[in-house]
Structure 1
């Protein structure tokens, strides 16, 4: 099958035959302190860490959504603070979102999705205070967070009958998914191999709802109207490149602008470690998408 989608294979300078980063390297990253910490709800996990660039705004905003299989056992904000700080040094405000994860009280459906929606919509309320431009917002998510980034970009397509529907949500003009899953129904078994086959059904309330994919799977909400960039390490065993290629092809056929970036010598964690060539390639993609929002 021929896929009529733009594909960039980035050969990373100085990284020839580099060993892909393991989970240990990702988890042991040094934490960087944010400019501000903002609660958007009462639960401990309902917080955002804001990283502000130097200079006057209003600043474009990158909504950063960490991964971790939607499970509480994996940390999130400490591991994404390094790339958040790097993006801030590049002139973007970073809205680094924490959200309730399984098995936290209220996690799953609808809580996890409501958290992401509430955190993003909070940008509009705090824009004046922090000199943010709520009309120039892109999402960047890794793994499970890649799914949430794609879903958040599609929120405008949610039917009013869905508990996740919100009137006039903050619009995400681009969604950059780093090893994320866009098609929960068609690719759920792939995601389930490393994360547990029961994780996605628990997340979306599959046993208790008819049409559980309809308001939780980005593939069911196409077209979103946002630009979509699927980024995968060529050696990623969690969400291999073919998953992003398939979702981008589906998005383009639905009418969205979508492309795939395949990172050479990278696996699942390289794109979210700020010292790697893979992250530097990702950062350039984020900068490019932010600059489009003039």
Structure 2
């Protein structure tokens, strides 16, 4: 029934040519998603909250299950997106056997959002898996992370934050071990992609997040850019829909990662809609799902 409802919803959303490859954020928010097993705060702020979804035990057994941290986008800007925007994505990954932890976080415009608060939220939200694993059958030896748009940057940064110097403002002790990461149509190198990203967002997303341009805040960009943290020491993947991640930028990341002996790959989807890539049932979803499932598997 869930898949039938999903197919019917998608049929309505893409009924006209104008929407066929151009779903909007609100369209994705309305897609069916499974109810979480748990909604829980990982911090004191109302935005520091996540939804845990667990695989069906009849299909996948009692666990412990591999887990994927899911981080939504929205230009890191209050009012643009919440975890509802990645609820359908998280639900679909859970249907494929992954536990998912879909988190919200403080964004620019929220008290404490931006630098360094948003980074600290991504870190704390990820590390909260340890608390969840004491109550749910989550395998902390098989942790992956994915994110969309600005959340792609966040996911790649979470994967690389173990490389931060101890004195970094956004470092935290004993970060949870990540085994794989996929960034979906978002910037692995925000400084290099500042103009393109801010044009797409329509707000000073990058310069606001980092407190200026790279020339103004070189240390922040060095510590907050996933590409600057290479090698990540894990399997990494990128999905390019050519809005917030142009093929050339994806190629630069993959080439740099491979040069550092990381296993890296990219799925290039041309001019696909930015939100189609996180919409189960969209014309490109089968390609995206296959890539995600393959790339997010972590071998013990």
d(CA) in 2 for partners of 1:257 and 1:219? 14
Mapped to 2, the partners of 1:165 and 1:95 lie a distance apart of 21
Distance 1:92 1:191 in 2: 30
Asked which structure has the greater RCO (Cα within 8 Å, sep 6+), the reply is 1
Unaligned regions of 5+ residues in structure 2, if any?
1-16
Q: Which secondary structure state, in structure 2, belongs to the residue aligned with residue 214 of structure 1?
A: helix
Summarize deviations over 1:131-180 as a string: whole Å, max 9, x none: 10111011111000000011010011000110211222111111101101
Deviations 1:88-113 (A, max 9, x none): 11111001011111110000111000
CA-based RMSD of the aligned residues comes to 2.0
Residue by residue, what CA displacement relative to the aligned partner does 1:239-278 show, whole Å, maximum 9, x if unpaired? 2222211211122222211111113672211111112142
Aligned residues of 1:143 and 1:179 also touching (Cα < 8 A): yes
1:72 and 2:48 aligned: no
| Aligned counterpart in structure 2 of residue 216 of structure 1, from 224, 232, 240 | 224
Distance 1:89 1:28 in 2: 18
Distance 1:265 1:198, change over 3 A: closer
Q: Secondary structure at the match of 2:191?
A: helix
| 1:180–1:239 Cα contact (<8 Å) kept | yes
Partner of 1:150: 156
Of 202, 208, 229 in structure 2, the residue corresponding to residue 202 of structure 1 is 208
Counterpart position of 2:41: 39
Q: Where in structure 2 are the equivalents of 1:9-28 lying within 5 Å?
A: 19-23=20-24, 24-28=26-30
1:26 match: secondary structure: helix
Q: Aligned to 1:113, which of 89, 111, 119?
A: 119
* Aligned-pair CA distance for 1:210: 5.0
Is 1:176 paired with 2:182? Answer: yes
Identify if the C-alpha distance between structure 1 residues 111 and 292 changes in structure 2 by more than 3 Å, giving closer, same or farther.
closer
What displacement does 1:42 show? 1.1
TM-score, length-normalised on structure 2?
A: 0.86
CA shift for structure 1 position 199: 1.5
2:194 and 2:207 in contact (8 A); partners too:
no
1: CA distance, partners of 2:47 / 2:189: 26
Q: TM-score, normalised to structure 1's length? A: 0.88
Gaps of 5+ in 1: 1-16
Bigger mean CA deviation after superposition, 31-40 or 108-117: 31-40
Change (3 A) 1:131 1:21: same
- Among 258, 262, 272, the residue aligned to 2:264: 258
Cα offsets for 1:176-228 (capped at 9, x unmatched): 01101011221111111112462212112237855221110111111110211
